Every structure is written in structure tokens, then in C-alpha cells.
Amino acid sequence: MSTVSWITARGLFGRRRFLMLFPLPVVLVLLAVLSRSLGVDPGAWGPPVLVGLGLAVVLPVVALIVGTGVLGAEIDDGTVVHILTKPLPRWQIVLPKLAVATGVTAVTVAVPIYVAGVLAHSVRLGLALVVAACLGALAYSALFLALSLVTRRPVLLGLVYVLIWEGLLGNFVSGTKVLSIQQYVIALADRLAPSGLLETTVSVPVAAVMTALFSVGFTVLAIDRLRSFSVAGETS
């Protein structure tokens, strides 16, 4: 484990605010357990809990808070200078931070969604959701990490993507689903474990290729942006 990733992990967990991440997964598990114990038909509670809460809210919101936190918080505080002035290639800064962000997001999301998936259908669905959520965590983290280098307001721009692009437009204009990580995750999970609970219009090859493209493309963009990064004061 490199020093950069250790510093990043400590920056994330060293403060009380990381406790903010816990209510989201806990609610997911609670709802799944409650629905199961009351004997509701999984076909009825599966989609709102697994997709509506798990893949559409918990995954992007956790990825947003963590993904913009690993680098954006340091840029905000101005402490990013300490890392930038060390004789490190830029990719050795970006990749460990991306790894930490992906890891934290994946663990936070995968555990509750595995429980929910097992309760809703089968162990196979649970594992499929875990794999898909991990891939989604990678793509989201790469996107939000790159955003925190491209703009000074990464969280708001990330919210525009999650709320307006994926949430609002995804419901009305089906064409935007081709550029929506959420739909890729659903498509991949459905392919790994066909259960009838997950529904999407994006085909599996498109989802796989686009997830890879999102992850690699935004990582390369982040490395490139960090190469010519200029330190500025807080925006007015």
C-alpha cells in the first residue's frame, strides 16, 4: 500500500463525517429485511429496493461523496500542494486515490446490496449485484475524480449528472440511458443473474464497453489534468 493511498484513506476515515456514509447502506438492509420478514412478494419490493434505493441512490451518492472527497477535499484545503511537490509521476497520485475511492465505495455498497439481493432472489443475484456494483463503483469514482480536477465545484456537477441526467432525463428521454452508468450496472447485473427483477434498455455489450470506456477515459483525463494543474484560491 503506497503512502498516497494511506494518506487518502486516513483523510477519508480520520474525520467524523465519514460516519455520514453509514445510514445509506443500513437503510437498504433494513428495508430488505423488513420486506422479507413481512412476506411481501419479491417481485414487488425487489425493484424499488435494489434499483430504486441501491443502484440509483446509494451507489452514486456514496461514490460522489467519496470520489470527490479523495482529491477534491485536498484541493479545497490546499494540502494537495504537498503531494504535488513530491517527485512522483502524476499517475502514481491518481491511481492510488482512485483505488481507495473505488474500494471504499465498493465495500460500502456491495455488502448491503449482497444481503438485499440474496433476500430478494438468490445468492447468484446477490453475487451478480456485487460484481456489477464494484464495476459501477470504479466507473463512478473515475468520473467524479476527474470532475474534481476539471472544475472547482465537482460535487454540484456530479449532482447534475446523478440527479438531472440519470434521474430526471433517464425517465423521459430514453436515449440518455446510453450514457448512464446506473443503466450499465443494471444491465451487467441482469446478465450475470437473470431474475426478472432488473430491467433496462441498454444491451450488455454496450454496457460492458461503456463501463470500461468511462473508467479508463476519465482516469486518463484525471492524470492529464493533474499534469497541468494550477492551484487557485476558493471561488467567489
Partner 1 sequence: MSEPTGVIHDIGYQRYTGPRLGRRQVFGALYLHGLRTAFGLGRSAKAKIFPWLVVAIVTVVAAGVTAIRSQIGEVVMTYAQFADNMSWLVIFFAAVVAPELVSRDLRSGVLPLYFSRPLPRSDYPLAKLLAMVTALWLLLGAPQLVMFLGAAFTTGDGMNGVWNELLDLLPGLLYAGLWAVVFASIGLLVASLTGKRAFAAGGIVAVFLMTTPIVGTLSIMPSQTLNELAGLASPSTLVQGVGVWSLGDLLITGDAAEASHSLIGDFGPVYALAAVLLVAGCITLLLARYRKVATR
Question: Phi and psi dihedrals of 200, rounded to 5?
Answer: -155, 165
Q: Does 73 contact partner 1 by CB under 8 A?
A: yes
- Sole window of 53-61, 100-108, 206-214, 219-227 interacting with partner 1 (rule: CB under 8 A): 53-61
CA atoms within 13 A on the CB side of 23: 3
Residue selected from 52, 78, 194, 196 as contacting partner 1 according to rule CB under 8 A: 52
Q: Please spell the DSSP secondary structure of 149-210, one letter per residue.
A: HH-S-HHHHHHIIIIIIIIIIHHH-GGGGGG-HHHHHHHHHHHHS--SS---SS-HHHHHHH
Tell me how far, at minimum, the Cβ of 111 lies from partner 1, in Å.
17
Residue selected from 84, 88, 111, 159 as contacting partner 1 according to rule CB under 8 A: 159
Tell me how far, at minimum, the Cβ of 52 lies from partner 1, in Å.
4
- Sole window of 31-39, 81-89, 119-127, 181-189 interacting with partner 1 (rule: CB under 8 A): 31-39
Q: Does 35 contact partner 1 by CB under 8 A?
A: yes
Residues 6+ apart with CB under 8 A from 174: 201
- Rounded CA-CA distance 64/145 in Å is 9
Contact 215, 143 (CB under 8 A): no
- Sole window of 33-41, 94-102, 131-139, 188-196 interacting with partner 1 (rule: CB under 8 A): 33-41
By the criterion CB under 8 A, which residues form the site for partner 1?
17, 20, 23-24, 27, 31, 34-35, 38-40, 44-45, 48-49, 52-53, 56-58, 61, 64-65, 68-69, 72-73, 76, 152-156, 159-160, 162-164, 167-168, 235-236
